């Protein structure tokens, strides 16, 4: 006959094991919440239409991010002046790292140019830069200005006409910055679209146009136009023979466009770190770097802090250009 006390002692290990098992589900979700991110598809909201440089380049990044994260990254285009529609879509979603915003250097411009219902610096958390690109200054092939130096020399004698797309765009403000830094006589004329600017250049209505390489690659390759200078801090790999504006006679002039990934403020830091690591891994993949280069962009990641500095720097830079050009604040 077994003693009751001995029976209880014999059962004690089994009871303790059962108690431990019952406790596991209670601890599980808290651990899974931070450790298994992401556990569902993510959304990447782009404030531009389908087919543009930001859309194509960020879709390439999103595709590879899906592989890295083990969850689909769904790209949604929500264009609108100042990026308001896209920003609202991100800010009204849960701040859990599953809804992300694509910002560009235009976001920095918009802060001064538009009355916005959001503050890109305060309402969003930087994740990483993704791609950088410069603009090119183009003249008519076999025209009067085969080099930027010849254009600058002419600008001392008469008014040069600079053509760009719509007021407040990076292209337009780059031309305004060029006008102020070069000290030449110049007038900036904005058009509605890139094809309209190109037509004006070929017709002789303007002397030089400012645009991205991706937008004018066909005209450059076909010999319609000549790329006389690039706006970056160094020569690009896609146009290695084209000097920078600084090299060509305007010291200190530099304009770099960029695309980057942000999350809404309040997103858990460990999730921001996870996304940052994944983006930087994607941007180191040789085929991604090559495909982005073919679009006239350089794959370049960053830390969240570095991206925050880039945004602050460009907000200040373009605010000064907008004020000097006398461009009024636009209503959305």
* CATH assignment at residue 306: 3.40.190.150
pLDDT in tens, 269-287: 999 999 999 999 999 999 9
pLDDT tens digits for range 179-202: 999 999 999 999 989 999 999 999
Q: Which residues pair with 126 in a beta bridge?
A: 262
Please check whether residues 139 and 117 belong to one and the same domain.
no
Q: Are residues 103 and 158 in the same domain?
A: no
Residues 154 and 202 in one domain: yes
Retrieve residue 318's tokens: 């373009």
Task: Tell me the pTM.
Answer: 0.82
At 134-175, the pLDDT tens digits run: 999 999 999 999 999 999 999 999 999 999 998 888 999 999
pLDDT value of position 8: 42
CATH number of the domain enclosing 218: 3.40.190.10
pLDDT band at 332 (very low <50, low <70, confident <90, very high): low
Q: Are residues 79 and 145 in the same domain?
A: no
Task: Please give the residue range of the domain that contains residue 208.
Answer: 134-230
DSSP 3-state of 242: coil
- Give the CA-trace dihedral at 260, 264, 268, 270, to 10 degrees: 0
The reply to whether 91 and 107 lie within a common domain is yes
Supply 238's token pair.
């896609």
Which residue among 196, 230, 264 closes a domain? 230
pLDDT at 207 over 50: yes
Question: Has residue 34 been placed in a domain?
Answer: no
Both 77 and 151 in one domain: the answer is no
pLDDT surpassing 70 at residue 22: no
Q: Could you give the number of structural domains in the chain?
A: 2
Q: pLDDT class for 95, splitting at 50, 70, 90? A: very high
Instruction: Report the Cα–Cα distance between both ends of the chain, in Å, rounded.
Output: 89
CA 293, 298, 299 angle in degrees (round to 5)?
105
Angle in degrees, 0-180, between the axes of helices 170-182 and 304-325, rounded to the nearest 10: 70
| Of 297 and 8, more confident | 297
Q: Are residues 154 and 226 in the same domain?
A: yes
């Amino acid at each position: 006959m077994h003693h009751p006390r001995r029976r209880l002692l014999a059962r004690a290990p089994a009871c303790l094991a059962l108690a431990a098992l019952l406790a596991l589900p209670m601890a599980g979700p808290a651990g899974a919440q931070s450790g298994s991110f992401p556990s569902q598809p993510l959304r990447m909201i782009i404030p531009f239409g389908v087919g543009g440089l930001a859309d194509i380049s960020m879709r390439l990044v999103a595709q590879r991010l899906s592989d890295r994260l083990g969850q689909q990254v769904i790209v949604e285009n929500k264009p609108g002046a100042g990026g308001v529609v896209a920003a609202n879509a991100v800010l009204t979603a849960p701040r859990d790292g599953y809804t992300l915003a694509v910002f560009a250097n235009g976001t920095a411009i918009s802060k001064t140019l538009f009355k916005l219902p959001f503050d890109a610096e305060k309402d969003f958390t930087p994740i990483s830069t993704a791609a950088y690109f410069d603009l090119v200054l183009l003249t008519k092939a076999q025209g009067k200005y085969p080099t930027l130096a010849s254009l600058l020399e002419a600008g001392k004698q008469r008014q040069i006409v600079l053509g760009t797309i719509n007021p407040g765009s990076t292209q337009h403000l780059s031309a305004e910055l060029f006008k102020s830094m070069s000290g030449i006589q110049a007038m900036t004329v904005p058009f509605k679209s890139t094809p309209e600017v190109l037509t004006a250049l070929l017709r002789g209505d303007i002397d030089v146009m400012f645009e991205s390489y991706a937008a004018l690659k066909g005209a450059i390759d076909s010999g319609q136009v000549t790329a006389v200078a690039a706006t970056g801090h160094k020569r690009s790999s896609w146009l290695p023979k084209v000097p920078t504006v600084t090299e060509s006679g305007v010291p200190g002039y530099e304009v770099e466009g960029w695309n980057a990934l942000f999350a809404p403020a309040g997103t858990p830091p460990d999730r921001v770190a996870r996304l940052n690591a994944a983006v930087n891994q994607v941007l180191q993949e040789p085929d991604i770097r090559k495909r982005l280069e073919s679009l006239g962009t350089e794959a370049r990641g960053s830390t969240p802090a570095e991206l925050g500095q880039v945004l602050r720097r460009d907000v200040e830079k373009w605010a000064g250009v907008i004020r000097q050009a006398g461009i009024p604040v636009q209503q959305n």
